[in-house]
Structure 1
């Protein structure tokens, strides 16, 4: 099992990488003053509002508000999770990511590296491909694929292969220990043999294109018909979907993603021109699957057979769907006609009509209330009570927002319970981000506490001017003092070398948003050269003035309180 990435490594990595070089390799930048600019890669715009600061090691878009350090950029730009972004950044820097694992017999960390396992599975996939195309025994597999409409180009796109019907085809060609670690060999009483034999092989690739496991299909009536790799250090079937890498290679931002039931459905639909289908790996769709797919598209469509098994599968998807839904996300349900799978229906109706079915599929809200109220006479109070009891546990999984409120309103409407209040907290609109205030065309000066914090966040080395003096917080008073103290104390403890490293320490912290906002503030005109000594004086004098004002404010508040008592 992969261990945690050491915190010190992440800090060192951010210090090693220049964010300008990183972003310029993805989005061409142009130098303007002290910063670099481009048109924002996260929203459509005609004039550049995306700014990258080499001094801060920080990017910010003044149009859409996107901001962060090098890790945050890779997460947003390539739709990666945190660990994947760190791994990509390490690759860019030319270093390997160390891992920490804990011994069950103690707490001594040990290093783990999974890169060799990825390389091995890539070699295995290549070997299976070669077997499909060159071995006599692979002809039966080729004939089956052709019968399903899979041509050579499509087989290459999905790296389809064939596992020879031999007990030790892999064991005799590769190192056995890592093969056992990746689940490709089964070790029984000291004798290892191939897990996959006589099967068409479907490599399972993560969204970065790395082979993490395999699915295999028999060519006769033996069971199991499909067999997947077991859980390993690099493969977790509850987190991966088949076809996502191929989908993103074709279109990085699809309008919608179609979730189908099997490997062949994904591949066959791609052969028909529908390149936005994925399939879960022999397991029910989980919230993790949905959160992964929602990174790339705001609309997911479940496609199930129209038989009883398909309807049951559709209902099983309700719980994770409700947990993953929030404002701006949409789930639809598409049940196919009886005796059809996606491939056969496209073959019969054509791609245009099939895609029309997708567009006209039922919204989750309609399907949910229709399925729950089926068989209930809502003219009867008892039936309406049943509907409330059935629906409420699902609706309570929704995150606070407009959609949640509307779903509860729909439940109240159906059950004629307008006075029923089970929706919890009402929706709150997000507060406006902290920014420089404006009056007409003139930008007003920042309040002193905010300016001091912004200077410190953008130039963390200034903390040396604070740590020499012991601050007595008792007896100080000014608006936002608790936030000011929290952030100042945080910088004192961590002493980050750059703004980028400081931001990383505040990832998922309650104050992350305000720290990012303060980091993005333009405190000086871009063409102004700021001398280091002048900056130190500006910060030190401002900080001293703040303490003086804060003590005067505290004394004034005491006098007011005393006056009220007397």
Structure 2
């Protein structure tokens, strides 16, 4: 992956790419006037509220509030990092990334292609080995576990036989990549021969969301530690980013209403065999931030379904804590508590699909599981213990972005601990979310001017040179003057302006301003803007005059400031 791209290249990329063309290949869009409308890919909806503006090269959803440029869309739709999305766009639109000191993208891309090719060929070898004489015991083991031939082939399950490496591999380059880059081959210090880290294990190929095999999981046939083994981290495999079964889940469902998160490969495969085709498995002991983001990009509901033992409940509590920052309006997490000593694989085989799905539908809501676990972990017999408990509960609740959900949880907390009007005592107003801020974001002259400039950058030519006084108390005036001077005489667009402030606090404000509908006909925008600039100039003069008059009353004015006051009054009189 590239490590750096210049601002010049990003602006060039934004100029040469077309957001409508890109999104049309992902979702259906219908043109209405200047805009294109479609079903939002980031939340479930029946009526299209997702708008793409070809002129501004931006998208916005009136349902869930997501918005951004072509880079943002690729980032969230494909679950890529910023630099990965730049790489992806450069490939889609055939815009070469210039060489830089940090890396050469073309070389890296070629290298990664080699890794994917080698790992795919290895997967074919594992699959064929399962159905050979060496894999006979493993194949019988899978049948004994209840897997049919169709599901074995569907998930490309394989087997790694003993001592295959030196007998089959004679390509030095391939051996080197498998050893040094992918970590699948190791060297036996006794005889200096290579061996497969997955030898004598059932092999489960791990696919990324695009369907490319990026790594393997291996399971022993007998009780031996480690029971499960994953590929080591490398250029194409990061276990904290991948979810086993996610590609298959996307493949089987046009709309994914919910996703069941389980602990192991076997659980996913068993559920799919019983026609529950919306299960994925984490590849570690707990879910990661990247995995949660990836899942919430394709569904609104996550159900944690771990083993029915103490370790499983502990893992669910960890998952709850990891999920807190992602509980925005419309996103939901639930918890499926299995009977003790049961896992999804064993339970669905005992109960069948109908009863298992009843359990899914009866999963505990976030609030029920949250308070149940909190009160199990915290028993208080004194005022001090009760106070500590309250602070512990609130420390979790405050991490939730959804303002109204927070209010309801705090209210429930008060009821459970027996404090009347706890919501009023605590006053969670300080945790208002973006929606509340957006609704209370007042339309001042400066903000309206900024909003119009961002939406119609060509208006910048009508902004004269404005003087900034240190005594000015017009909020945002300094930023406005600085903004205008920076972008004056530059070929700027709405999308470039927003991109310039990526990763800053200002970008959130600008994103609100760019969505403001001023209800002004296009042919009147220019005149309205010019009149607003005149109003601002008058405000600046009036503000300075008020300051000078106030200063005169307090300590008197010297000759220079008296001349300034007289001059400003004269200018103001002419303007009015």
Q: Give the TM-score normalised by the residue count of structure 2.
A: 0.78
CA deviation profile, 1:369-393 (whole Å, cap 9, x unmatched): 3334348766765764564476455
Is 1:161 paired with 2:158? Answer: yes
Q: Superposed, which structure 2 residues align to 1:188-267 within 5 Å? A: 192-251=194-253, 253-267=255-269
CA deviation profile, 1:414-461 (whole Å, cap 9, x unmatched): 333558767765443634758999xxxxxxxx9865564345324546
Contact in 1 for aligned 2:40/2:49 (Cα 8 Å): no
For CA contacts below 8 A with separation 6 or more, give which structure has more relative contact order.
Answer: 1
Q: Secondary structure at the match of 1:202?
A: strand
Is 1:414 paired with 2:416? Answer: yes
CA deviation profile, 1:337-364 (whole Å, cap 9, x unmatched): 2342212211221212111111212233
**How many aligned positions are there?**
540
Whole-Å separation in 2 of the counterparts to 1:471 and 1:354:
69
The corresponding residue for 1:504 is: 499
Whole-Å separation in 2 of the counterparts to 1:81 and 1:462:
34
Instruction: Tell me which protein shows more helix as a share of its residues.
Output: 2
The corresponding residue for 1:59 is: 59
Contact in 2 for aligned 1:60/1:66 (Cα 8 Å): yes
Whole-Å separation in 2 of the counterparts to 1:422 and 1:167:
66
Whole-Å separation in 2 of the counterparts to 1:508 and 1:7:
14
The corresponding residue for 2:369 is: 367
1:259 to partner: Cα distance: 1.4
Is 1:144 paired with 2:144? Answer: no
Whole-Å separation in 1 of the counterparts to 2:93 and 2:159:
37
Contact in 2 for aligned 1:125/1:203 (Cα 8 Å): no
Structure 1 runs not aligned, ≥5 long: 101-107, 438-445
Whole-Å separation in 2 of the counterparts to 1:325 and 1:32:
33
CA deviation profile, 1:56-101 (whole Å, cap 9, x unmatched): 223345676543321223345455554443343223213466797x
Whole-Å separation in 1 of the counterparts to 2:318 and 2:222:
30
Contact in 2 for aligned 1:200/1:218 (Cα 8 Å): yes
Whole-Å separation in 2 of the counterparts to 1:142 and 1:44:
44
Q: Give the TM-score normalised by the residue count of structure 1.
A: 0.79
1:28 to partner: Cα distance: 4.5
2:358 alignment partner, one of 356, 359, 366: 356
Whole-Å separation in 2 of the counterparts to 1:53 and 1:318:
37
Contact in 1 for aligned 2:126/2:203 (Cα 8 Å): no
The corresponding residue for 2:574 is: none
The corresponding residue for 1:333 is: 335
1:549 alignment partner, one of 538, 557, 565: 538
Is 1:304 paired with 2:306? Answer: yes
Structure 2 runs not aligned, ≥5 long: 557-576
Question: Aligned-residue CA RMSD in angstroms?
Answer: 4.2
Whole-Å separation in 2 of the counterparts to 1:340 and 1:279:
16
Q: Superposed, which structure 2 residues align to 1:377-456 within 5 Å? A: 384=386, 387-388=389-390, 391=393, 393-395=395-397, 397-399=399-401, 401-418=403-420, 426-428=430-432, 430-431=435-436, 433=438, 449=446, 452-456=449-453
**Gap change, CA 1:285 and 1:51, over 3 Å in 2:** closer
Whole-Å separation in 1 of the counterparts to 2:65 and 2:400:
26
CA deviation profile, 1:228-252 (whole Å, cap 9, x unmatched): 1112233222232212222222235
Q: Superposed, which structure 2 residues align to 1:82-97 within 5 Å? A: 82-95=82-95
Contact in 1 for aligned 2:245/2:279 (Cα 8 Å): yes
Whole-Å separation in 2 of the counterparts to 1:410 and 1:65:
28
